[in-house]
Amino acid sequence: MKKKLPAGSLGYTEARRVTLADERAPFALLSGETIAPVAVEYEDYGPRDAEKVILICHAMTGDAHVAGWDKNWKRDGRAWRREKAGWWDNVVGPGKAIDTDVYRVICSNVLGSCYGTTGPADANPATGKPYGLRFPVVTVHGWVKLQKKLIDHLGIKKLHAVVGGSLGGQQALEWALAYPDLVNKSIVLAAAARLSAQGLAFNAVGRYAITNDPHFNGGDYYDGEPPRAGLAAARMLAHITYLSEESMHKKFGRRRQDHWHPGFDVEFQVESYLDYQGRKFVQRFDANSYMYITRAMDYYDAAAHWGGGSLVQACARVKSQVMVVSFTSDWLYPPRQCRELAMAINQNKLPVTYIEVPSDYGHDAFLIQTEEVSRLLRSFLSA
């Protein structure tokens, strides 16, 4: 029996899948490789005849289920689904900041993920077995190109806004650069034009943990035990970058578990929290997908791709109104990098709004401080 949903909920939602590339017309990637077939999973809310359409781009390990409650949460084990609200349910829905009574709202899953869009766990037509590491390299540029194919398939000519946080924010930026005539407003939350060397280093260590798990087997683990320990360690490491020193101190400090014995078992509460996050993550995500998506995050560099190394030159392509939002305690995409992006747009005498939100929550603030984020979105979308 379905649960009673909270007041103001979008209700039960249902993911859709569409094939956007096949053997006759394969999908071309930035690397020069092609792939077919390519299926894309997406969710579509609000009135189909709405004048204004908003595309939401998910972050690194997110999915298309941005709002409401998944109607088919038991339908299969491929995506490790469970009944839960969408990852931005407080922001998207009737009467909310991204109002589904007013806007048509679309969110799709990225290529290479394990949530319905074609990824490493899918069968390679050439072998009949899962791609594993034979899956082609994916990029933010390719994700946006595939989103454009979805928008075309749905008959949408122009987007009122593209919105995203973190790796989703980089997709929002890429839309403004790749398809400047198709976007009215671009909203970039907790994201910058590229990842720092420190961010590259964290991703590298996470992938090292996965590939050195004895069960990884060169990415061909689908018929046996997956690399759970390696993926859990990668998630634990990444989760530290999503928090901040302030939030970790307030939440855990140096407090120990209620029952502990001196030694090397889990002793401090922060250890227990990270251990829980790692164990929970391996139940819902695929290690190969993690490898590919973090590498796409590494590769994204708007200045290099669009401006010959100059971010100012790259941003000359922008025609949309842009809002860049940073959070003071975010050290994955710190405010100085977000300001750099806003200033590059401004130097082209283009409209840009930059807001730095006080926060103790670190990089995850765009998911946690939904009241502040909703206020900013509502104002910018309606202006």
Report the share of the chain in percent with pLDDT over 70.
Answer: 94
- Pick the last residue of a domain from 227, 261, 294: 294
Q: Which structural domain range is residue 140 located in?
A: 12-195+301-382
pLDDT digits (tens, 9 = 90+) for 189-225: 999 999 999 999 999 999 999 999 999 999 999 999 9
> Is 330 designated active site?
yes
Distance CA 361, CA 374 (A): 16
pLDDT beyond 80 at 6? no
Catalytic residue among 9, 108, 113, 166: 166
Report the share of the chain in percent with pLDDT over 90.
Answer: 83
| Residue linked to tokens 């400090």 | 253
Across 226-320, the runs of DSSP E, i.e. the strands, are none
Domain tally, the chain = 2
Cβ contacts of residue 91 below 8 Å, gap of 6+?
67, 97, 98, 370, 373, 374, 377
The average pLDDT across 293-311 equals: 98
The span from the first CA to the last CA of the chain, in angstroms, equals 42
Cβ contacts of residue 93 below 8 Å, gap of 6+?
8, 9, 10, 45, 67, 68, 99, 100
> Is 374 designated active site?
no
Catalytic residue among 89, 213, 330, 364: 330
Catalytic residue among 305, 360, 363, 364: 363
Structure tokens at 139: 């990029």
Distance CA 82, CA 340 (A): 39
Cβ contacts of residue 382 below 8 Å, gap of 6+?
none
What is the pLDDT confidence band of residue 268, given thresholds at 50, 70 and 90?
A: confident
In a domain, 165, yes or no: yes
Q: Residues 232, 142: one domain?
A: no
In a domain, 7, yes or no: no
Answering whether pTM is above 0.75, one says: yes
Q: Residues 62, 184: one domain?
A: yes
> Is 166 designated active site?
yes
The average pLDDT across 329-352 equals: 97
Rg (CA), the chain: 20
Model pLDDT, residue 47? 97
Is the Cβ–Cβ distance between 122 and 71 less than 8 Å? no
pLDDT digits (tens, 9 = 90+) for 106-129: 999 999 999 999 999 999 999 999
pLDDT beyond 90 at 261? no
In a domain, 264, yes or no: yes
pLDDT digits (tens, 9 = 90+) for 125-175: 999 999 999 999 999 999 999 999 999 999 999 999 999 999 999 999 999
CATH of the domain at 227: 1.10.1740.110
Distance CA 31, CA 58 (A): 23
pLDDT digits (tens, 9 = 90+) for 37-88: 999 999 999 999 999 999 999 999 999 999 998 876 544 444 444 457 899 9
Q: Residues 33, 91: one domain?
A: yes
